[in-house]
Amino acid sequence: MEKGQTSVYVIIGIVVLIAIIISFVIIPKLGVEREEVIETDILPVKNFVDGCVKQTLGAGVLFTALHGGYYHLPENRFEADYAYIPYYYFNGNVDVITKKKWERGLEDYINAELLKCLKNLKPIRLMGFEVEAGEPHADISISSRKVEAYVNYPLSLRKAGEKKILEKFYGDVKVDLLSIINIAKAITEQTTKDPNSIYISLMSELSNKYKVSINALTYTDTSVYVVQDSKKLVNDLPLMFLFATKYDIVNHAPELEFIPDMTALVGEQLYYKMKAKDYDDDILYYDTDSVLFYVNHGLGVMNITLEPKHVGTHTVVFSVTDGKLNTTQEVTITVK
């Protein structure tokens, strides 16, 4: 089956999305996501933090999706110009993102990034509150309908001498990450059967089943799969999920053209040019095991003026190598 061709439009889309996420200014939208009894005077604070949780979660979903579901990337990854992408298939090993790993990555993202949205709590102070805060601790739940963030973030609020505590905050993003994981599993499972092929028919089948677009970008030894879901926007942006698989590159030994036995006389010029071809187009290096009958290592040319020291019957091993594998042939050279 033929490999997919690199689409410049897909890459441009990835670059634009990354740029938006990196420069994303999170503006929380007010609104209570779940019914909860909150005292009226601190309800604006609750709404503000809930809004930040929702927006930070959305940014986290977009960011981790571009990195195969990871916040902290694994060691085996493909470093493209536009993103670092984890390998789901690498040297015979399969490592597809799991629901649990993605949840942990989103938790780490929110714990690290939430305070940027909260702007060091300045908006809360502008509401007239004195505020002291603990550290946020997120708990993420991924389902087929949405991603939910339950954040424990202790806030001690004081206003007009009265102290109140807020701790529990919530946000969700309506996106189906489980289907994305299933798509990655299916493609990776097929890759294990033939790592050097792109399965266009499978990609089409999965695209129709899950109502997403799937493209494959091919590089020297890597395929990058791009799954895009534009049905449900996340922070007003389409979800773009990337993962990579590495080809099992097989090195082939160079083929050495047959070398006939040689007979010559002292005083004559003994000339022979070795000929070889390499399936992988590697640079070839020629040699013999003889100090009397040597060849030019780059060209494989033997050009020797025969002297009395060459007299006799000699068994010479001619060889060619690509630096990893070599091919040899024994040749009898007779000098009289």
Q: 306 to each of 174, 330, 335, how far by Cα in Å? A: 84, 20, 8
Is the entire prediction scored with pTM above 0.85?
Answer: no
pLDDT in the model for residue 11 = 63
Which amino acid is present at 149? A
Other CB atoms closer than 10 Å to residue 298's CB: what's the count?
A: 10
Instruction: Specify the pLDDT at position 244.
Output: 95
pLDDT of residue 138: 97
Give Cα separations from 228 to 225, 284, 315 (angstroms). 10, 44, 64
Average confidence (pLDDT) per 10 residues, the chain, 336 residues: 49 59 46 56 92 96 96 92 91 92 97 92 91 95 96 93 92 95 95 83 94 91 91 88 86 92 95 92 94 95 95 96 93 94
The most distant pair of C-alpha atoms in the chain lies apart, rounded to whole Å, by 115
What are the structural domains of the chain? 8-246 (no CATH), 255-335 (2.60.40.60)
Query: Which residue carries 């266009």 as its tokens?
Result: 200
Q: What is the DSSP string of 97-157?
A: --HHHHHHHHHHHHHHHHHHHHGGGHHHHHTT-EEEE---EEEEEE-SS-EEEEEEEEEEE
pLDDT reported for residue 31: 40
Say if residues 272 and 304 touch (Cβ distance below 8 Å): no
Cβ-based burial of 68 (10 A; exposed 0-12, middle 13-18, buried ≥19): buried
Q: Any idea what DSSP says for residue 30?
A: P
Q: What is the pLDDT of residue 304?
A: 95
Helix (H) or strand (E) holding 178: helix 177-193
How high is the pLDDT of residue 21? 54
For position 32, what pLDDT does the model report?
40
